[in-house]
Copies of this chain bind each other. A is one copy, B any other.
Amino acid sequence: MKRNIYIKNTPLKEAIINFNQALDEIGYFCPAEEWIEVSQCLGRVTSRPVLSRRSSPHYQASAMDGIAVRAKDTFAASETTPVRLAENQYLMVDTGDYVPPPFDAVIMIEDVNFFGNEAEIVKAAVPWQHIRSVGEDLVAQDMIVPSSYRLGSYEIAALISAAVERVAVFRQPVVGIIPTGTELVASASPDMEPGKIVESNSYMLEALCREWGARAIRHSIVEDDWDKLLQAVREVEPQCDLLVICSGSSAGREDYTSAVIDHLGTVLNHGLAIKPGKPAILGLIGGKPVIGVPGYPVSAQLVFTLFAKPLLYRKQGLVVPDDEKLPCQLTRKIASPMGVDEFVYVNVAKIQDRYLAYPLSRGAGVSSNLVRADGVITISSGQEGVNAGDYSQVALMRPRHEIELSLVCMGSHDLCIDLLIDYLRRRHRIRLLSTNVGSMGGLMALMRGETHMAGIHLLDTERGSYNVGYVQRYLQGKNWRLINAVRRQQGLIVKKGNPLNITSLEDLLNPEIRFINRQKGAGTRILLDYLLKQAGLDPTAINGYNREEYTHLAVAAAVKNDACDCGLGIMASARVMDLDFIPLAEEQYDLCILTDLMPVDWVDRLMDALSSAEFRENLRKMGGYNLELSGQIIAASLL
């Protein structure tokens, strides 16, 4: 196969219009209906109006427990002139019972006194009182639901009650999914070769199909082989209404997919002016649409949602409901190339009365972004980006009430944050959103009112103490509190068994030892610089001083996977990765909150979590933590 580096970048709108036109031309959306039993119809969409086949109730029914009477027999009754009805002048009825002629009214049992077989009443009955008329609920031929209506729990009850046994519904569209790529493996194993990738996209797309009312057929992984891909497409295509080929992630790979589509049908479009998702392919095979989705999970999700979702809804006689839109202020600038519609995934939280959008990192390979994201911002092709502080419409991916329960924590990371996320969610329904921007980044975010709290471990190198000095300086004039989360061991994380025999910072000067550093502003980096300075060591002499990771676990993972030999981090992260650890210092990791930004009950719940037996026990298991001060207020502003 020849290798095409450049593919055409078709504007999104144009591609959507062309795709739909091509499908309309071949009569693809001509509705296919089927008749199904009412008991099977939950969640299905009607293709015709459903009319009641009977009236309900189908008889004059008592609406009360009481006696049925002829109203005219009661007209004389009053408190002072009670009327007694003989046994043949009334009928005992329960709610729902038939009221046969000539009875034309019901009197509640509470308003009747019985004397032997005689019933005494003290108030005249109005004709037809407490009688449900025929068809009060449903009249035969009444329309219960129109067409293009998704049937839910209440509709099922109404249909059964209306004697409807079978319902005409749109046929459930079937999606055939073929994952391709020699680098793909069906499941992860501990000894996976470098370059191998776990195939997970087909499962995500299958689950999305279910959410959208469609059914999916997942083919096994097809390696990069012309004949095998051809065979897979020929096998799956006749079974489905939409074919999806999950291409590998490289340009070469998509050309391959595109050539197969071209061979068996028509390629309508290869390449879109969108980011991520640029290498998408649209085509037709055998009168059916084919979508070639890129290999990166975020690209795959986006392309599938943009093209397959509306198609599958329309096949079911529906249109895609609009996502809820929320105008949010961006917390940082997003640059975006002109000529490309860019989709930026964000977290969303409400701080005081402001809705804030926090852009997630834009790597299309970061599948965890889809789990984290609360919504997506579209930067249209005519815009060069959005500035920090600007308002953007966020299309929400989560219900708004969940988003409004978000407690934002920016700053340095510690493993105890994961414990807090779990505890606060489980006990208090609070969704703790944690972003690793380093301790200084956390303080800056507090200053801008963009976080409820910040996790910090900032060594005041002059005083030799932690955090208080920094907070006093940067949060002057604000109402702050400093709550201790943990004290913890910092040290060198090295391979199991310490094969390079690293014992102190001095060893890092050996150019054979590959170090990995933390990002600028990270408390751990500040600590490293302090320790190096104290020891009189030159940072620039360290191999890898400029290579950065963003969390303790990422540093430990780099050591574990031989991306480096050594890094500075906390003992717990070395322990969970089964690595060796050389302790260098104990430091204090505090949570700094601004009381004006954080609801007071959330503060209480946070303190509760930090003081809980569960929290302490879990940290003790991890090792390297000192919990003497956990949950205690270390310092507070004087305001």
| B-chain residues with CB within 8 Å of residue A138 when the two chains form the complex | 367-368
Q: CB distance A561 to B94 under 8 Å?
A: no
A252 and B97 CA atoms in complex are apart in Å by 13
Chain B's closest residue to A149 (CB) is B425
Q: CB distance B109 to A5 under 8 Å?
A: yes
A413 and B402 CA atoms in complex are apart in Å by 43
Tell me how far the C-beta of A4 lies from the nearest C-beta in chain B, rounded to whole angstroms. 11
| B-chain residues with CB within 8 Å of residue A58 when the two chains form the complex | 192, 194, 561
Chain A window 267-294, contacts with chain B (Cβ cutoff 8 Å), 1 for yes, 0 for no: 0000000000000000000000000000
Q: CB distance A422 to B368 under 8 Å?
A: no
Contact of A139 among B187, B188, B203, B557 (CB under 8 A): B557
**Within 8 Å of chain B (Cβ to Cβ): is A96?**
yes
**Within 8 Å of chain B (Cβ to Cβ): is A153?**
yes
Q: CB distance B141 to A577 under 8 Å?
A: yes
A162 and B203 CA atoms in complex are apart in Å by 13
Tell me how far the C-beta of A168 lies from the nearest C-beta in chain B, rounded to whole angstroms. 13
Contact of A203 among B60, B136, B160, B193 (CB under 8 A): B160
Q: CB distance A140 to B367 under 8 Å?
A: no
Q: CB distance A553 to B135 under 8 Å?
A: yes
Q: CB distance A421 to B146 under 8 Å?
A: yes
Q: CB distance A366 to B137 under 8 Å?
A: yes
Q: CB distance A546 to B127 under 8 Å?
A: yes
| B-chain residues with CB within 8 Å of residue A110 when the two chains form the complex | 5
User: Which of A19-27, A314-322, A446-454 binds B?
Assistant: A314-322
| B-chain residues with CB within 8 Å of residue A576 when the two chains form the complex | 140-141
Contact of A252 among B65, B152, B400, B561 (CB under 8 A): B65
A140-B560, A153-B204 known; A249 and B96 CB under 8 Å? Answer: yes
Q: CB distance B203 to A158 under 8 Å?
A: no
Residue with the highest number of chain B CB atoms closer than 10 Å, among A155, A192, A563, A573: A563
**Within 8 Å of chain B (Cβ to Cβ): is A82?**
no
User: Which of A48-56, A233-241, A464-472, A588-596 binds B?
Assistant: A48-56
A58 and B563 CA atoms in complex are apart in Å by 10
**Within 8 Å of chain B (Cβ to Cβ): is A39?**
yes
User: Which of A207-215, A348-356, A534-542 binds B?
Assistant: A207-215
| B-chain residues with CB within 8 Å of residue A149 when the two chains form the complex | 425
Q: CB distance B94 to A154 under 8 Å?
A: no
A190 and B53 CA atoms in complex are apart in Å by 9
Tell me how far the C-beta of A279 lies from the nearest C-beta in chain B, rounded to whole angstroms. 10
| B-chain residues with CB within 8 Å of residue A421 when the two chains form the complex | 49, 143, 146
**Within 8 Å of chain B (Cβ to Cβ): is A198?**
yes
Q: CB distance A133 to B248 under 8 Å?
A: no
Tell me how far the C-beta of A535 lies from the nearest C-beta in chain B, rounded to whole angstroms. 26
A140-B560, A160-B198 known; A132 and B365 CB under 8 Å? Answer: yes
**Within 8 Å of chain B (Cβ to Cβ): is A498?**
no
A contact residues vs B (CB 8 Å cutoff)? 5, 39, 42, 49, 53-61, 63, 65, 94-98, 100, 109-110, 127-128, 132-149, 152-158, 160-163, 165, 183, 187-190, 192-195, 197-201, 203-205, 207-208, 210-211, 248-253, 295, 297, 301, 317, 319, 321-322, 324, 363, 365-368, 370-371, 399-402, 418, 421-422, 425-426, 429, 546-547, 549, 551, 553-554, 556-558, 560-561, 563, 573, 576-577
The contact sample of 6 A-B pairs, CB cut-off 8 A, is A5-B109, A49-B418, A134-B554, A137-B365, A161-B297, A321-B402
Contacts A132-B363, A152-B207, A153-B210 aside, 7 further interface pairs with beta carbons under 8 A come to A5-B65, A53-B188, A55-B557, A149-B425, A158-B370, A158-B371, A165-B187
